[in-house]
Structure 1
Amino acid sequence: MPVILGPNRYGKAETRLVRVVRDGGVHHIKDVNVSSALSGDMEDVHLTGGNAAVLPTDTQKNTAFAFAGKFGVGQIEDFALLLARHYVDSQPTIHHARVEIEEYSWRRIPVSGDRQHSFVRDGQEVRTCIVHHDRDGRSTVVSGLRDLVVLNSTGSEFHGYIEDEYTTLQPTADRILATAVSAQWRHSGVSSSSSSSFGESYTEVRRCLLEAFAETHSLSLQQTLYAMGERVLTTREEVCEIRFAMPNKHHFLVDLAPFGLGNDNEVYYAADRPYGLIEGAVLRDDAPDAAFAWE
């Protein structure tokens, strides 16, 4: 039975990189996690162990550090595009590069005087991006975020669902709706020479997500997911598709009757698992195809 080599890639995962910009006594922090993966003429390294086509993963790590020193780290999408295009354009054996970056936000601690170099981590939310660039000059950019924790203390219902012999969940017309949003959105029209304001785009997409979550009277988390995606696509023309993973962070009303107390939707048990997981995509009907954008 013949055996052949299938799709493959290799790279350096999770290069932790911190860039400090010193503007006199005022400092700025860029804290990122960079992962790169390359593919191309890699038959020999798999079949014979010949490494002539391989750009070492250690070199990929060093390139990330060197580019941070040479060019700085602005918007993570721009930095990822810079790296991906470099790997493909500088190495004939590399036909495709994937660069993924996570960014961790720091907020300056306000102090008097000129000591503007102290920071505190700004919550658990993480900004993300995935960039692809190939030998044909095609680039795709998927921006995103994860662990954006949001909660509505009312304005959410859940009823009218299928009930069978195993159903114990009671319908409700007033519940807490909470989730930790993971969202990824694909930019349209990214070419090898294009430049976009990814920072402004990220801020505005995040605003759309929060506003839609807050303003939607929800009959299901799925309905809220769609409303959030619809708000982004009708507001931000640079986005052609957005995908979500949203766990339902359940809050169950506690029965206080054994203690002689009522509970008018005031005391809840916050359960961490098991949890419902809602996933879905919202896209323009004319969204350009980009099969590898999400991988």
Structure 2
Amino acid sequence: MPWASINRIYAKPSNTSSMEVPPSSSSLKAGPALTASADSGGRFELSDHGYGKSAVKLLHVQRDADYHSIREYEVFTELKLHSETAYVVGDNKDVVATDSQKNTVYLLAKKHGVKTPEEFGAVVVSHFLYMYKQVVEARCKVVEYPWERLHAEAPHNHAFVFSPTATRWCQVSQARHEAVTVKSGLSGLRVLKTTQSAFVDFVQDEYTTLTDAAERIFSTVVEAEWIYDNMRTADFDNAWLTVKDAILDKFAGPADIGVYSPSVQHTLYQAEKTVLEKVPEINWIKMTMPNKHYLNIDMSKFPANVTKGDPNHNIYQPIDKPAGLIYAQLRRKPKSHL
């Protein structure tokens, strides 16, 4: 669903709505709060602080007659308060309890429903900034559990299958009077292909033992994250699927002939380029592709009578560690104002 509510972009406290009256706080009226710097005579300072509730699990079921839809989330909230008094002097008057944050997640899901991780994260962040004057920054991370509709000759009305091909997540953050930031991501997308991958012509010197590989198994576990430049027009579900499809397409290619990969770097870049071409709302995307090595086993050490068999049988040794690590971030160049 496109980003629709302008109110989610800039959050400011409201004292006019009967439903959004911030709680009274004596510390807000008493002037500057005691800080770590003041407490330590200027020797120390709290350079960062915050607190929240982790791993709030919820399942949202949308029942439209006999046809049901589900989305299951794990939600993490985090608030930063204007004062340091809870840390320095143990004054909790401004503290919104983490249990209250948990309850807020459930109540907002009930009130507004759950459409996409990004939109729900924005609802949560906006609520805390509007509801509590003492909150100067709010963050919400949402991890989605990968459920898919079960197909039994036809798509089932109310049955689903857990399909962990990749994990979808997002992090929504906003400081008071500033624009909301939405970072989305994909993790745990493990892929492997048995041909059309090579790694040759790299540096050969006295430190090198690796030989050129004109043919090798290519396997990786893809991690990706990206930032939206325009949230109002973004279709978050479509953008996530576009990222996943771009990775699979540039990794595997057409079903019958595949696609050649001269390096992990090249495949990674082609996937990122495709995403920026297809989703104009994405400002930058970063991908990480570690090598999951499958090494040839040297059968020449064994007698021919014990290795003789079908030549189409190929055996490799999976190696988890150490692993090569390749990453890159591709961003749009700023437009010139000249």
For this structure pair, what is the TM-score category when the shorter chain's length is used for normalisation? 0.7 to 0.9
- 1:280 counterpart = 2:328: yes
Runs of 4+ with >4 A deviation:
111-115, 261-265
- 1:160 counterpart = 2:201: yes
Is the alpha carbon distance of 1:89 and 1:195 closer, same or farther for their aligned partners in structure 2, counting shifts above 3 Å? farther
Deviation (angstroms), 1:271: 1.9
What residue ranges of structure 1 are gaps of 5+ in the alignment?
Answer: 288-295
Deviation (angstroms), 1:44: 0.8
Q: CA RMSD in A?
A: 2.4
What aligned pairs does 1:261-272 form with structure 2 within 5 A after superposition?
261=307, 266-272=314-320
Q: Report what 2:23 is aligned to.
A: none
Q: Of 293, 299, 308, which aligns to 1:256?
A: 299
Q: Report what 2:7 is aligned to.
A: none
TM-score normalised by structure 2 residue count: 0.77
Is the CA contact (8 Å cut-off) linking 2:234 and 2:281 kept in structure 1? no
CA distance in 1, matches of 2:148, 2:233: 27
How many pairs does the alignment contain? 284
Q: Report what 1:10 is aligned to.
A: 51
* SS of residue matched to 1:233: helix
* SS of residue matched to 2:209: coil
Post-superposition CA distance 1:13-52 (Å, at most 9, x none): 1111111222333332211110011113131111111112
Q: Report what 1:291 is aligned to.
A: none
CA distance in 1, matches of 2:155, 2:215: 50
CA distance in 2, matches of 1:276, 1:157: 14
Q: Report what 1:123 is aligned to.
A: 164
What residue ranges of structure 2 are gaps of 5+ in the alignment?
Answer: 1-41, 254-258
CA distance in 2, matches of 1:180, 1:124: 11
Is the alpha carbon distance of 1:195 and 1:231 closer, same or farther for their aligned partners in structure 2, counting shifts above 3 Å? closer
Deviation (angstroms), 1:56: 1.1
Is the alpha carbon distance of 1:13 and 1:42 closer, same or farther for their aligned partners in structure 2, counting shifts above 3 Å? farther
Larger radius of gyration: 2
CA distance in 2, matches of 1:79, 1:259: 63
CA distance in 2, matches of 1:268, 1:132: 45
Q: Of 172, 178, 188, which aligns to 1:147?
A: 188
Q: Report what 1:48 is aligned to.
A: 89
Deviation (angstroms), 1:113: 10
Q: Report what 1:19 is aligned to.
A: 60
Give the residue type in structure 2 aligned to 1:12: K
Is the alpha carbon distance of 1:229 and 1:265 closer, same or farther for their aligned partners in structure 2, counting shifts above 3 Å? farther
Q: Of 235, 239, 243, which aligns to 2:278?
A: 235
Q: Report what 2:234 is aligned to.
A: 196
Deviation (angstroms), 1:259: 5.0
* SS of residue matched to 1:86: helix
Is the CA contact (8 Å cut-off) linking 2:149 and 2:155 kept in structure 1? no
* SS of residue matched to 1:109: strand
Q: Percent identity?
A: 33
Q: Of 115, 123, 144, which aligns to 1:82?
A: 123
* SS of residue matched to 1:13: strand
Give the residue type in structure 2 aligned to 1:278: I
Moved more, 123-132 or 21-30: 21-30
Is the CA contact (8 Å cut-off) linking 1:35 and 1:99 kept in structure 2? yes
Is the alpha carbon distance of 1:112 and 1:223 closer, same or farther for their aligned partners in structure 2, counting shifts above 3 Å? closer
Q: Report what 1:290 is aligned to.
A: none
Is the alpha carbon distance of 1:152 and 1:115 closer, same or farther for their aligned partners in structure 2, counting shifts above 3 Å? closer
Q: Of 229, 232, 243, which aligns to 1:205?
A: 243
Q: Of 57, 76, 80, which aligns to 1:39?
A: 80
Is the alpha carbon distance of 1:106 and 1:47 closer, same or farther for their aligned partners in structure 2, counting shifts above 3 Å? same
Give the residue type in structure 2 aligned to 1:222: Q
* SS of residue matched to 1:100: strand
CA distance in 2, matches of 1:158, 1:68: 49
Q: Report what 1:224 is aligned to.
A: 267
CA distance in 2, matches of 1:76, 1:235: 21
What aligned pairs does 1:62-101 form with structure 2 within 5 A after superposition?
62-101=103-142
CA distance in 1, matches of 2:203, 2:189: 30
* SS of residue matched to 1:123: coil
CA distance in 2, matches of 1:91, 1:11: 14
Deviation (angstroms), 1:195: 5.3
Q: Report what 2:3 is aligned to.
A: none
Post-superposition CA distance 1:99-153 (Å, at most 9, x none): 1111012123334899743322112411111111121141111111111122232
Give the residue type in structure 2 aligned to 1:282: L
* SS of residue matched to 2:183: strand
Is the alpha carbon distance of 1:242 and 1:62 closer, same or farther for their aligned partners in structure 2, counting shifts above 3 Å? same
